[in-house]
Amino acid sequence: DGGITQSPKYLFRKEGQNVTLSCEQNLNHDAMYWYRQDPGQGLRLIYYSQIVNDFQKGDIAEGYSVSREKKESFPLTVTSAQKNPTAFYLCASSIVSGTYEQYFGPGTRLTVT
């Protein structure tokens, strides 16, 4: 089955620790994205990547970092510099970047205390 995998579903960390969220896709999509969702709000773009070894900041990149070493993988690191990291994080991919529909993974709910 083709799709997007995010792990783990729930993640708990202490304040001051960096944490990396996994995102893997086997859809052969070139573009991948990370979004953050807070209660009662829409999705906000953190980072996106149109091709391997290249990525761009979205609207709320501060405190986050990404890498794109393989087409299938786009991990997101939430650093200790992110002031309010507790949120629901969604990874997505699309055929190419642009106007094509994006397909989403199941999400990771991160809680930092």
Report the interface residues with other proteins, using CB under 8 A: 33, 40-45, 48, 56, 58-59, 88, 90, 92, 97-107, 109
Residue 76 contacts residue 23 (beta carbons within 8 Å): yes
Task: Kindly state the smallest distance separating residue 80's Cβ from other proteins, in Å.
Answer: 25
Given the complex with other proteins, which of 16 and 42 has the nearer CB atom?
42
- Measured from the CB of residue 4, what is the shortest distance to other proteins in angstroms? 9
Q: Which is nearer to other proteins, 17 or 26 (CB)?
A: 26
Query: In Å, how far are 3, 8, 30, 60 from 96, measured between CA atoms?
Result: 16, 26, 5, 22
| CB closer to other proteins, 90 vs 112 | 90
- Least distance to other proteins, CB of residue 40, Å: 7
Q: Cα torsion at 22, 23, 24, 29 (round to 10°)?
A: -160
Output 50 or 80, the one with its CB closest to other proteins.
50
Q: Report in angstroms how near the CB of residue 90 gets to other proteins at its nearest.
A: 7
- Cα–Cα distances (Å) from 27 to 53, 55, 82, in that order, read 18, 19, 30
Residue tagged 């709910």 (tokens):
109
- C-alpha Rg value of the chain to the nearest Å: 13
